[in-house]
Amino acid sequence: MSARGADPTVGNHRHADVGSASVGELITDVSRDLSTLMRQELELAKAEMKAEVTKTGKAAGMLGGAGFAGYMVLLFLSIALWWGLANVIDQGWAAFIVALIWAVIGGVLFVTGRSTLRTVNPKPERTVDTVKQVPEALKGQ
């Protein structure tokens, strides 16, 4: 018998020749391989979920930043624009025009943020695909 891992083509298997291994040894090898596969699939799922959570956090941060920036811009530029328009038209109409402009800007920011959030996929696609392949691999297909 060869030492574990001595033959690089065999990997972690104890026996290069399956015919010389006992049933118990083969079951042990299969059990160890399945355990390793499940651990690897779990790590893959964790990595995929971490990437999606990071993407969601970035999108939420962008929306929050856009909201705060929009507030500050609304506060200062709205006052300046209102005063500027009040030199040409009635103050009430000037205030209404400024509010309407910021309503349009807010709508655009909302639609952009919502479309970014819709690209988030919480399902770890690669993990699901490889886990689906495990039963077929066990059947020998």
**pLDDT by residue (tens digit) across 58-80?**
999 999 999 899 888 778 888 89
**pLDDT by residue (tens digit) across 98-126?**
889 889 988 999 999 999 888 887 777 77
Q: Give me 9's structure tokens.
A: 């083509």
Tell me: pLDDT of 2 over 70. Answer: no
Q: Which residues contact 93 (CB under 8 A, 6 or more apart)?
A: 85
Indicate the pTM of the whole model: 0.38
Q: Give me 5's structure tokens.
A: 């891992």
CA dist 110 and 117 (Å) reads 11
Q: Give the chain's radius of gyration (CA, Å).
A: 31
As a whole number, mean pLDDT of residues 85-95 equals: 92
Q: Give me 77's structure tokens.
A: 């530029």
Tell me: pLDDT of 4 over 50. Answer: no
Check residues 129 and 36 and name the one with the higher pLDDT.
36
pLDDT band at 17 (very low <50, low <70, confident <90, very high): low
Q: Residue 4 in contact with residue 14, Cβ under 8 Å?
A: yes
Task: Give residue 113's pLDDT.
Answer: 92
